[in-house]
Structure 1
């Protein structure tokens, strides 16, 4: 995947251990209406920042979406810590954004899936969908 995005010669092997910082951020502030749970989103997400990026080096952004049953309700921050994206981020100057869904019985989403069937509305597969707008608000806040 990284070779496709960055080109074959531009991908460095992963670091042996993570050297950056995994932080939690407020997802509510980026959600239309300010209440993430309304759209089956968690109130917080995760951001991994390599030390080089924190020091001001130019870095690219990768948005990593978890699968069903893999949000912070089910696995905590394990996807953000153990997906092995962070080790590649450290050696390839990548910031990794890990937005999070949440379970919602109101939205008929008991497994915390991203909306791929329309539980947030008819525009679920378009840029105007609330989950996609939330992610793009997060991306823009990071300067992307």
Structure 2
């Protein structure tokens, strides 16, 4: 199967909590990004194959996550930036993911300024998006 490049305006949300989904969708759409919602890891994985997104917000409060699941998602979708959202500031069970895989951790409730800042930061890391900063720490001059 040929994969499409990730949409730079599309954000996936993995959550089972209707209130959190509504809050994240509202804030993300306020920042001029489109959202797609998934309620299981398998649905997310299949959805990203069909319609890659530049970022995914993983709700650690409503979906059971572990390092293996996050590592598998990242290996299957390396172009996607994964963010963790939770009300709990501590997730020792996700130590590897937090230190090596996740782009950022968001504290709930959703916050427009934080989301906008992170998505702009991610956009700057994607080659051909303006700043030329690459994930490997190399930089490319832009006009």
Structure-2-length-normalised TM-score:
0.29
Higher strand share: 2
Does 1 or 2 have the higher relative contact order (CA < 8 Å, sep 6+)?
A: 1
Q: Larger Rg: 1 or 2?
A: 1
Length-normalised TM-score, structure 1: 0.29
